[in-house]
Amino acid sequence: MEKIGIILRETIKKSGLEKKLMQFQIFLRYENLVGEHIAKVSKPVVFRNNTLFIGVENPIWSHQLHFLKREIIEKLNSIFDEPLVCDIKFQICSLEKHKQDFSSGVKKDNIVELPDKIIKMIYNISSEIKDPELRKKFSELMIKDFKYRKKKEERRCSSI
């Protein structure tokens, strides 16, 4: 009998979510990685093609952080075996909205519906997991991830 951790890791690799989970680590650990001072004036917004878009409060901070760009990339990549962030783009956007989104979680009044195609894909991927409870939890996690990404697309800063 295989360990649950091994099965879960293999399933995540097969589903293509491994890189997304690594990227999510940056969002979760941003303040610890870059420091409290930088995290107060900036927040990661989205990953695209190994480029991390970071929202900043104003053009002054954008300019200042541009000088620290190499150092920030090194700090962010320090938690991975291989570099994940190749470049950073700074953009001006309201951080209050993003601070609320990460701290308070998903709002109940903003219901996100997923297309049937996505739901079927999730259940097809999770059908390889033999343990019914683990399969159910994994499916719920994937659905939650897709809904989160869909909501995030809607909230993205206008300058992207």
Q: H-type helices in the chain, by residue range? A: 4-15, 18-34, 36-41, 59-67, 69-77, 95-104, 116-126, 132-155
* Interval 6-33: pLDDT, tens: 887 788 777 777 888 888 889 999 999 9
Using an 8 Å Cβ cutoff, are 96 and 104 in contact?
Answer: no
pLDDT at residue 158 tops 70 = no
Closest CA to 46 of 27, 62, 65: 27
Q: How many CB atoms lie within 10 A of CB 76?
A: 22
**Burial tier of 150 (Cβ tally within 10 Å: 0-12, 13-18, 19+):** middle
* Interval 36-57: pLDDT, tens: 999 999 999 998 889 999 999 8
What the chain holds in terms of domains, given with CATH numbers, is: 4-155 (3.30.300.180)
pTM above 0.75, yes or no: no
Could you tell me the pLDDT band of residue 93, with boundaries at 50, 70 and 90?
A: confident
Using an 8 Å Cβ cutoff, are 79 and 28 in contact?
Answer: no
The span from the CA of 35 to the CA of 71, in Å, is 12
Closest CA to 76 of 137, 142, 29, 110: 29
| Inter-axis angle of helices 95-104 and 132-155, nearest 10 | 170
